[in-house]
Amino acid sequence: MTTEIIYAGDLHTDARHIRSGNIIQTDAPTDNNGKGEAFSPTDLVAAALGSCVLTIMGIAARNHNIDMTGATAQVNKVMLANPRRIGKLEVMIQMPEGNFTEKEKKILDKAAHGCPVKQSLHPDLEETIIIKWQ
């Protein structure tokens, strides 16, 4: 088991990571009966994709002695109706200042697109990953 989730009432949950004890709270979004007081479950999917992309890029960077410290990800989530689901995730990676070679850029771009979360998403979900190099 990796996670235990407790329904805290009023459309809130507390998800506890078993190994570390860290807790992530969720709330339903304002457009679906919630107050938007925390990440929604679909926000966590978006955050998981952005975090995964940066993590897998970080592994590739470490393996190839590339410094990408300070890289950031911004994720835009677009919801669809009937059925209500995530329709599109747009990930924008902003790389820190640095003189990345074309080879390094290819290594990091390939890593970004190989992230396990991305590979786990339904094929109907449209996702884009764009890397902006300074």
Instruction: Please state which CATH number belongs to domain 40-132.
Output: 3.30.300.20
Domain ranges of the chain: 1-39, 40-132
* 26-77 pLDDT per residue, tens: 999 999 999 999 999 999 999 999 999 999 999 999 999 999 999 999 999 9
Per-residue model confidence (pLDDT) at position 46: 98
Q: What is the CA radius of gyration of the chain?
A: 17
